A and B are shown apart, each in its own frame.
Chain A
């Protein structure tokens, strides 16, 4: 946009038609792969569409059923607990690691690689691995906690509802800390050293500089990290499927698992679609909230 580029050359480069042409395949993907399925989802949510009755229009019937369903209510409550727990643990872990790694030089590359590994492991495989770690019979978690004298006998996340929720939150945060850590580390490293220097000259001690300089400077990336972690915790069930399968009872039966059950077990597609729309609406509301907070930055 600067004037030094020169009139003629600018004129030759900017060619909107070429830009549009390059985007035609992408536009097709968006229309066929996103817009069309999204419309189909909304339509299906207004249909009675199960494996018993013939398909018919039911208006808001599915939504009404969700509203009155005790199981759906539980799943909404469970997803809130899960999401809050997972996001809190992820943020604290990610921030702690980012602060440490921003302060080290030698070996930093290796430490960063180690930090990213859980992100690169397939989520469903993470769930399988944690299932093995939490095994009530041969589990290494139980053994380590017993060696540390924190518990007396092996614990089972498969019989204790509260422990089960902790189990899936720990496993889920394990996969999310890397992303949070990467974003916050990049943000921390981009703070100019002079700002810390100036605060130091003014006599601010370490903690004060953390709360009045560092935190405000990384507020934007932190909010983005929180937003992404929150909306991803709402949609991910890859870990819960192998780890607890929603149980024991309905202890880890999150909203996503409700949708999953409708599609793979109950085969009530109309109800599953309506729940899918609800999941989308909740996620959008959360996103809008974060966008509002970010706007002021």
Chain B
């Protein structure tokens, strides 16, 4: 009897839904607050279902902070980093996985070791280099930092995908007169697309979500990304909570969208990059 209850679908659903409801509470609370007028924000006990939803906080956010600039900065940094990292890591993973060379294993171990180094430790040397190069408060400084932060994991994800790639397919293509680079573009890319998409999406999100490096490297809205911008909103003595939540929503939007439209790739990337490598 006890076993039947423990293994029942009903119990699994109940526990999962209960735990997930708790986990969704911060998201719900952010969304609700972002559309509350001040009168429903600054009250206790709090209002769970706002009766007068309004776009006012969102409007004020873009009016009183250069939030449009933050979004633009984030987009430029994120898209550039994603393209650079995806292309370079794809080449590296293709080479390591399908054309084994001396030192390939060492390269792989180095990449794994790289992930052990805390980015927080390298923040200082990176800052010294960035200021030496005169790149403080530029978008380029963040692109440089994010390449370091995302490249190793991207290679590990794609290598895991290429390792499962049927070598025979490439071999016969090459026998049929296809060049190795041709094989990459005509066969490996289409078939390996899920792996490349996984690595690309995770690189995109990590870069978009990065805060520590961006905070130290930037000081004005000329270069500050959304994460730094949202944090700045609470820097004042008085916190505009509903505007802060509106900002949080904008900052979290790409992540939430990707979770729903690309869940499969996220899961595949996170498990293969972590476990198989």
Chain A residues with CB under 8 Å of chain B are: 5, 9-10, 12-23, 25-27, 29-30, 33-34, 36-38, 40-41, 44, 93, 96-97, 99-101, 103-104, 107, 109, 111-126, 128-133, 135, 137-140, 143, 146-147, 154, 174, 177, 179, 182-183, 186-187, 205-207, 220-221, 224-225, 228, 231, 234-235, 237-238, 241-242, 256, 259-260, 263-264, 269, 272-273, 276-277, 279-280, 283-284, 287
Contact = CB atoms under 8 A, between A and B. Distances in A.
Nearest to B254: A120
A259 B107 contact: no
Interface residues of B, number: 104
B28 to A, nearest CB: 9
Interface stretch (B52-60, B134-142, B191-199, B256-264): B256-264
Contacts of B96: 19, 23
Tell me which of B2, B124, B254, B270 has the highest count of chain A C-beta atoms within 10 A of its own C-beta: B124
Nearest to B107: A23
A117 B24 contact: yes
Contacts of A224: 274-275
Given A120-B259, A284-B116, A29 B88 contact: yes
A41 B99 contact: no
A13 B151 CA distance: 26
B61 interface: no
16 contacts: A13-B170, A14-B99, A19-B104, A22-B95, A23-B95, A100-B16, A103-B9, A125-B252, A132-B29, A138-B43, A182-B267, A225-B274, A259-B121, A263-B124, A276-B123, A279-B118
A96 B270 CA distance: 19
Given A133-B25, A143-B44, 20 more contacts: A5-B167, A5-B168, A19-B104, A23-B107, A29-B88, A33-B147, A97-B19, A111-B20, A128-B231, A132-B30, A143-B45, A147-B45, A154-B44, A179-B274, A183-B271, A206-B7, A224-B275, A237-B120, A256-B118, A279-B118
